[in-house]
């Protein structure tokens, strides 16, 4: 599957989003499929109501403080996931059609400020528009092969500490505030926090898959 033609069919979009998510509901589906059949083919995912799923999962009972701690822990968990890898192993893409570990790290760093901006707008503005981003275009155009991975980690850590300090001041009701995503429709602050918190663990699983493929 070429990365540049992933918009041709729904199936291609789903397969792509398994590697790189702005769509973490796919990951929930995939986990279900993996546990049951070992086959990651969540082809019905587009019929799901994302907002409903997330409200059901975390809804009004969300343990906000715990979620924020998980959000803060993400960058260190990502660092640990690449411990012991050589530069060549980080640059390698051992699984056909999937990214290198370097691309994953740059991808995560790219979307940290995007999500921080979305969360701030939802807190501060009334149902603000939230602009979707295309991870493949970012990966193709934003010099992933030239970037300093230590800077990427510093950015992730700084953005999460900065944003978490704001989130900790909010009431549970404020996590139900919403914005209007250009592709996914109305999303609550709780959903945005859930998505970005799950983003790093999702990609750590894919890094692990690459390490296993390389036996490192
Ligand atoms: Ni992703």
Taken in order of first residue, the domains within the chain and their CATH numbers are: 49-214 (1.20.120.450)
For the chain, percent of residues with pLDDT exceeding 90: 71
pLDDT band at 90 (very low <50, low <70, confident <90, very high): very high
Q: How far is the CA of 104 from the centre of ligand 1 (A)?
A: 7
Ligand 1 center to residue 80 CA distance, Å?
A: 18
CA 199 to centroid of ligand 1, rounded, Å: 6
State in Å: Cα 14 to ligand 1 middle. 12
CA of 167 to the centre of ligand 1 (A): 22
Q: Rounded to whole angstroms, how far apart are CA atoms 142 and 165?
A: 29
pLDDT tens per residue across span 127-139: 999 999 999 999 9
pLDDT band at 63 (very low <50, low <70, confident <90, very high): confident
**Ligand 1 centroid distance, CA of 24 (Å):** 8
Quick check: 89 pLDDT over 90? yes
pLDDT at 70 over 50: yes
Q: What spacing in Å lies between the alpha carbon of 105 and ligand 1's midpoint? A: 9
CA of 114 to the centre of ligand 1 (A): 12
Confidence check: pLDDT of 121 > 80? yes
21 pLDDT band, cuts 50/70/90, is low
Q: Are 105 and 149 in contact (CB under 8 A)?
A: yes
| Mean per-residue pLDDT, 26-34 | 37
Give 135 Cα–ligand 1 centroid separation in angstroms: 7
Q: Which residues have C-beta within 8 Å of that of residue 85, sequence separation ≥ 6?
A: 101, 211, 216
| Centre of ligand 1 from the C-alpha of residue 193, in Å | 14
CA torsion 106-111-117-118 (nearest 10°) is 180
Mean pLDDT across the chain: 81
* 191 in Cβ contact with 55 (< 8 Å): yes
Nearest Cα neighbor of 123 from 169, 58, 158 is 169
d(CA 127, ligand 1 centre) in Å: 24
Strands (DSSP E) found in 26-135:
129-130
- What are the beta bridge partners of residue 186? 180
- For residue 183, pLDDT over 50 is answered with yes
- In this prediction, residue 62 carries a pLDDT of 52
Give yes or no for residue 20 having a pLDDT over 60: no
Got the DSSP string for 150-206? HHHHHHHHHHHHHHHHHHTT--GGGGG-EEEETTTEEEEHHHHHHHHHHHHHHHHHH
Averaged over 166-181, what is the pLDDT?
A: 97
Query: What pLDDT score was predicted for residue 22?
Result: 56
Cα 182 to ligand 1 centroid, rounded to whole Å: 17
What is the distance between the alpha carbons of residues 44 and 27, in angstroms, rounded to a whole number? 13
């Amino acid at each position: 599957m070429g990365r540049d033609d992933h918009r041709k069919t729904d199936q291609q979009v789903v397969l792509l989003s398994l590697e790189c998510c702005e769509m973490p509901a796919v990951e929930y589906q995939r986990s279900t499929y993996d546990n049951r059949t070992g086959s990651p083919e969540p082809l019905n995912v587009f019929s799901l109501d994302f907002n409903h799923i997330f409200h059901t999962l975390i809804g009004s009972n969300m343990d906000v403080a715990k979620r924020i701690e998980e959000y803060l822990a993400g960058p260190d968990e990502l660092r640990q996931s690449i411990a012991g890898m050589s530069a060549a192993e980080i640059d390698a893409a051992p699984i056909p059609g999937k990214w290198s570990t370097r691309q994953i790290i740059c991808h995560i760093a790219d979307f940290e400020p995007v999500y921080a901006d979305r969360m701030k707008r939802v807190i501060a503005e009334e149902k603000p528009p939230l602009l979707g981003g295309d991870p493949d275009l970012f990966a193709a155009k934003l010099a992933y092969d030239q970037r300093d991975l230590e800077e990427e980690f510093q950015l992730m850590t700084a953005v999460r500490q900065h944003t978490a300090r704001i989130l900790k001041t909010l009431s549970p009701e404020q996590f139900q505030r919403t914005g209007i995503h250009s592709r996914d429709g109305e999303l609550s602050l709780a959903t945005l926090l859930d998505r970005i918190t799950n983003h790093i663990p999702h990609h750590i699983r894919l890094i692990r898959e690459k390490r296993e493929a390389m036996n490192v």
